[in-house]
Structure 1
């Protein structure tokens, strides 16, 4: 396990009375979940999700197949909870995370995602989004029907096409990355990128070498705006891993190892 230093912070924002975000800061698993449902217990959904995924910490070794399987079990648990608690029926949550997994005895990072919370990778002064939003706006962008500026204000920007807690069970997007000294991961709910552009996020990360200071500064930057949503960030700095010997690039390209399938609309 490489040496990592982690900073995390969450805030309710200026317009919400309840924080429906939840986070997991583990030893080798880190997760951000953004609950949906309002009165249908979005905060319960996100809390149940991180509690369920905490079990990954105890897997030895943790393999790439273990992570999507755990997310699928989490989905089943949320569906079951909604069936037993009518007031929570229809609740759901996004899930994005980073886990250390073993492939042939070699440690790698595995990034996983369902929904529109995001995982970024920051290295060499450049910010790269690893995950793909499961949202109507992302689909419009992919089709070239809108541009990035239009996406930020589009009326459908909060409509998610895949989430944990839905039926049928959603497919989990998974990427595998080599471990590289000096890299930084940023996990966030859409309360961050909904208020700050990627350029603004990168500028804050560049300004703060300590991940705890970076996490706090990112939330402060959101709170200086309208902060219409809850905001949660985890910043993970990889201090002790060595670059993969066979990787000559500065920025390893994410490898999609669990192909996404179309999910039902919510």
Structure 2
């Protein structure tokens, strides 16, 4: 079993920040670590994020691969689309996360993403964003119209181009399958963290704590101290390969 080959240390922290309620929802159990950020401009964002996670946590069954992830994300999209639109606007949510699985005989991270919440990987003390933001600003940066160092201040930085639910009839998730390396630290977070802290600051805060729970707590505290304008949810997953 994969659990016999990889030991995980997990930390979770969340805060509503300056928002009236927390529309983030997360799952951190059974080798599945997910964050969904209910869209503030949609009705019932908290219900949308919870609904998505309830479907996506089904990835805990067996040893899922990329096709399983795509199928489950599409099921989550349908479930969110089926929620009532109380004022004519459909609920929507981002979703991102990582699943511990195996491919052949190799332990792997299965990473999924829709929207602008993020999953990162830190290896050898160096942080790398695995997911790609589905947002207007990310597209402008990719096309060279907006410099990368101006993206965090752009007035349309929170306009997402892909969500679960919303008005689209279909959704295409991004999926990655990455071999687990000794000492991997995975970070799953809503944009309430990344809107407040740069990647360099996130890396520094992660390096300051050896254990997962203190690292998660530290990141949320830093985001709150930086302004905490949005809901903030953080999951830190540390992997140790057993011999």
Q: How much does 1:103 deviate?
A: 2.2
* 1:9 positional shift: 0.5
Instruction: Give 5+ residue unaligned stretches, structure 1.
Output: 243-266
1:1-266 aligned within 5 A: 1=2, 2-13=6-17, 15-38=18-41, 40-57=43-60, 59-82=61-84, 86-87=86-87, 89-166=89-166, 167-240=168-241
2:38, 2:46 within 8 Å by CA — same for their partners in 1?
yes
Structure-2-length-normalised TM-score: 0.93
* Distance apart, 1:213 and its partner CA: 0.2
User: Contact 1:23/1:33 (CA < 8 Å) preserved in 2?
Assistant: yes
Native 8 Å contact 2:42 2:92 kept in 1: no
Could you report, residue by residue, the CA deviation over 1:163-203 in whole angstroms, capped at 9, with x for unpaired residues?
Answer: 01132211000011001110100000000010000010000
Give the deviation of 1:77 after TM superposition. Answer: 0.7
Give unpaired runs (5+ residues) of structure 2.
none
Query: Aligned-residue CA RMSD in angstroms?
Result: 1.5
CA–CA separation in structure 2 for the residues paired with 1:238 and 1:207 = 17
The 3 A distance-change label for structure 1 pair 37 and 199 is closer
Compared CA separation, residues 32 and 44, structure 1 to 2 (3 A): same
Equivalenced residue count is 238
Give the TM-score normalised by structure 1: 0.85
